[in-house]
Structure 1
Amino acid sequence: MMFVRDVQKTSMQHETDPRRIRRRKRGRSLYVLMALILAVATMVTLSMTVFFNIKTIRVTGNAEDYPVDDIVDATQIEIGDNMVRLKVDEAEKKALSTLIHVESVQIKREFPDTLEIHVEKCTPAYNVVYQYGTLIVSEHGRILENSMNPQEGLVKIVGYEPEETTPGYTIRSIEERSDKIFNAFRELIYQGGLGVPIVSVDMSDPNDIMVNFGNRITFDMGNWSEINYKISFAEQIIASQPADKQGYLVMVGSNQCSFRNKADYEETQKKLQGLYQEPAKEAKKPDTTETTPPDDEILDFTPENPPVDENFPADDFETPEEVPEIEMTAPSIQIPEEYLDDENDGIAMDDYDDD
C-alpha cells in the first residue's frame, strides 16, 4: 500500500525578501531597546529604594565646639536615607545656618552606604567696631558674635558700617566701597607673610586710610587705591628700620614715605585741630614757629613690585582738573552830571533822604 504525501510548494523568494529581513531586524532592535530601558528603570528604582541607603555617617574636621550628634542633626540627614536621593547642597546650607561657629561644611557620598560630613571651624580674626557695639568676624567674613566688648588679639576695623549684623551670616556693608576695602585687607592678612602684623585699620575716610603696624608705626596710606602694593611697600620700609622705631609713616608719591616721630606728629595734629575748631571770627593767624612741624625724614625706597592692583585700578580714582583762570573786568558806570557835586567831584548827598 502506498501513501501519497501532499507536497506544499513554498517560495524561496519569500524567505529572502530584503524588506521582510529589515522589518525583522527592526523588531529585534526594538525588543532590545525596551529590555534595556526596563533594566535601567529597575536599577534606578532599586538604587533609590533598596540599594545605597545610608548605614554609616562619619564626621571629620576640627569643629570641637559641637558634638558629633549636633553636627549630624544640623544637616537633617538620618540613617536609612537614600544616598542617591540626598540633596547635598541643601543639607550643607542647613548645617551652616545652624552651626554658627563652623566656617564650611562638605558632605561626601562613599558608596554603597557611607556618608562623610567634613566641617571646618571658624577662626575669629576681626573686631569690627560700629555704632552699636562690636562684631566678632571670622577670617573669611562670617559673623560669629554681636557683642559690646571686643575680643582680645583680633584686628580692629574702624569706619565700617555693617548692613548685616546677625551671627551666622556673612558680613556686608551698606557701602560697596567699604566691602572692597575690608575684603582686600582680609585677603592680605589671611594669606599671611606680613613681617609686621596689622593691628588695626581705620577706614573712616576712604581717602585717608590709617593702618597700624605692631602698635608702633601708623601708616597713612592715603586713598584706597592699590592697597596690596601700598601695604607691601610699607612692610618693606618698616622691615628696614630699627625694631623699636615708633612714629607715623605717610605715603608720598608712589615710591617714597615721610616718617614722623610719634610725639611730634601727635603734637602737631593737636595744634592743627585746635586751629580748625576756633570760630572764624576769633581765629588768629597761627604762629608758624610753633605749628610748623620739624623736617620729615624722607625714606626713598624702590619697591620690589610695581604699583599694580587689579582690584582697585587707578582709573577709579579721579584727579580733579585744574580750574582755568578767568579774567573779569568790571563794567564802567556813567553817572549823570546832575548827581555830581562839583566841589567834591562825587555824588551830591543832598539829593538823598536821611533814610
Structure 2
Amino acid sequence: MKKRRIKKLIALILGIIIIIAVAVTLSLTVFFRIDNVAVTGDEIYSNEDVIAASQINIGDNMFMTSKKKTASGIECTLPYVESAEIKRNLSGTITIKITAATAKLAIDNGDSFTLVSDKGKVLEDGLMTIGDGIIIIDSSPVISAVPGETVEFQDNDDLGIIKNVLTLLESNELSGITSIDVSNHSNIKMVYKERVTVLLGLSSSVNDKMDFVKAALTRLDSDNPDFTGSIDFTIDKKAYLSPQREDNTTVPFISP
C-alpha cells in the first residue's frame, strides 16, 4: 500500500514536471512571439536604422530578447542615441524609446575636433569645425574616443569633474562658458565668453562656488562688459580681477 502511494506521488511529480516543460517550450516557441517593433522618443535616426541596430527580428521570442543587450547595441551602433529603453508588451510589441544625446563638449585634437555629449559619449570624430555653444575641454591625454562609446581620459577622474561642472552650470543657469580646463585638479579653470578666464581652484570646492561665480560674472557684464582678463575665485567668496594689458600681461586687483 505504501509503495503504491509512493508510485502515485512519483507519477504525479513527473506529470507536473512534464506539464511545466511543455508550458516552457510553448512559451519559447509558440507564445510570446514578437509581432511588431515600435520606435518612440526623439527622432534622430530613422525607425529602420534603430530596429536594425537593435537586432530584433519579427518572430523572435519576447522573453529571450535581452533588454540590456538590445539597448547597449543601439547605443553603441548609433552614437547620437544617449539611451535606449526597451519595453515588452504581451500583445507582441517591443517598444524602443530613444533619448537623443546632447552635443555639448569638444576635444581639440589640433587638426580636428571630437564631439562629445554632456554625458561623456563620443558622438563624432574628425570634425573640422564645431557649432556655437560647444565647450572645448582641456584634460589629461585622451585614451579612447570611439563614436558610440564613452570617452576615456588618462586620469579617470576627469570625466566626472567635467560632468559635475556642466551640471553646476545648468543648475545655476550660467551660460557663455566656452572652455573648461580640468588638466590640473587643483586648479580647475573655465573661459567665459572667450575673454574672461575663471579660476576655480580645487575640483572639490567647485560645488560651493558656482552661484557666486555667476553673480560675479553677471555684475561684471553689467559694470564692465568689455572686460578681458581673469577672475580668481580660489579663495572662498572672494573674486580677484586681473585685467589683461596691451602686452598680454595682467595686473591683479581685488574686486570691490
- TM-score normalized by structure 1? 0.63
The corresponding residue for 1:258 is 240
Return the offset for 1:29: 3.1
Q: How many residues align?
A: 252
Answer 1 or 2: higher relative contact order, Cα 8 Å, separation at least 6: 2
In structure 2, which of residues 161, 165, 188 is the aligned counterpart of residue 185 of structure 1? Answer: 165
Whether 1:123 aligns to 2:102 is yes
SS at structure 2 position matched to 1:225: helix
SS at structure 2 position matched to 1:152: coil
Return the offset for 1:60: 0.8
Change (3 A) 1:194 1:113: same
Return the offset for 1:251: 2.1
Match runs of 1:92-111 below 5 Å: 92-111=71-90
The corresponding residue for 2:130 is 150
Return the offset for 1:252: 4.9
* In structure 2, C-alpha distance between the alignment counterparts of 1:175 and 1:131, rounded to whole Å: 20
The corresponding residue for 1:72 is 51
Change (3 A) 1:127 1:65: same
Does the aligned pair in 1 maintain the 2:79–2:147 contact within 8 Å? yes
In structure 2, which of residues 12, 16, 19 is the aligned counterpart of residue 39 of structure 1? Answer: 19
Unaligned runs of 5+ in 1: 1-19, 273-292, 300-355
Does the aligned pair in 2 maintain the 1:127–1:151 contact within 8 Å? no
Match runs of 1:323-338 below 5 Å: none
Does the aligned pair in 2 maintain the 1:199–1:214 contact within 8 Å? yes
Letter in 2 for 1:220: L
Does the aligned pair in 1 maintain the 2:138–2:183 contact within 8 Å? yes
Change (3 A) 1:268 1:229: farther
* In structure 1, C-alpha distance between the alignment counterparts of 2:157 and 2:72, rounded to whole Å: 28
The one-character-per-residue Cα deviations of 1:36-66 (angstroms, maximum 9, x if unpaired) are 211111110001111111111111111x232
* In structure 2, C-alpha distance between the alignment counterparts of 1:93 and 1:34, rounded to whole Å: 41
Match runs of 1:1-355 below 5 Å: 20=1, 23-62=3-42, 64-146=43-125, 147-189=127-169, 191-215=170-194, 217-239=196-218, 243-245=222-224, 246-247=227-228, 248-260=230-242, 265-267=243-245, 270-271=248-249, 293=251, 296-299=253-256
Unaligned runs of 5+ in 2: none
Letter in 1 for 2:198: F
Change (3 A) 1:151 1:236: same
The one-character-per-residue Cα deviations of 1:273-303 (angstroms, maximum 9, x if unpaired) are xxxxxxxxxxxxxxxxxxxx36x2345xxxx
* In structure 1, C-alpha distance between the alignment counterparts of 2:247 and 2:187, rounded to whole Å: 15
SS at structure 2 position matched to 1:226: helix
Return the offset for 1:94: 2.2
Letter in 2 for 1:105: A
Letter in 2 for 1:267: R
Change (3 A) 1:59 1:111: same
SS at structure 2 position matched to 1:66: coil
Letter in 2 for 1:266: Q
Does the aligned pair in 2 maintain the 1:128–1:135 contact within 8 Å? yes
SS at structure 2 position matched to 1:249: strand
SS at structure 2 position matched to 1:267: coil
* In structure 1, C-alpha distance between the alignment counterparts of 2:249 and 2:174, rounded to whole Å: 34
* In structure 2, C-alpha distance between the alignment counterparts of 1:219 and 1:144, rounded to whole Å: 28
Does the aligned pair in 2 maintain the 1:130–1:160 contact within 8 Å? no
Instruction: Considering fraction of residues, name the structure with more strand.
Output: 2
Instruction: Pick the structure with greater CA Rg.
Output: 1
* In structure 2, C-alpha distance between the alignment counterparts of 1:183 and 1:48, rounded to whole Å: 43
* In structure 2, C-alpha distance between the alignment counterparts of 1:227 and 1:220, rounded to whole Å: 10
Return the offset for 1:77: 1.1
The one-character-per-residue Cα deviations of 1:129-186 (angstroms, maximum 9, x if unpaired) are 2344211111111111111323222122234531112222211112224334323223
Does the aligned pair in 1 maintain the 2:201–2:234 contact within 8 Å? no
* In structure 1, C-alpha distance between the alignment counterparts of 2:180 and 2:247, rounded to whole Å: 19
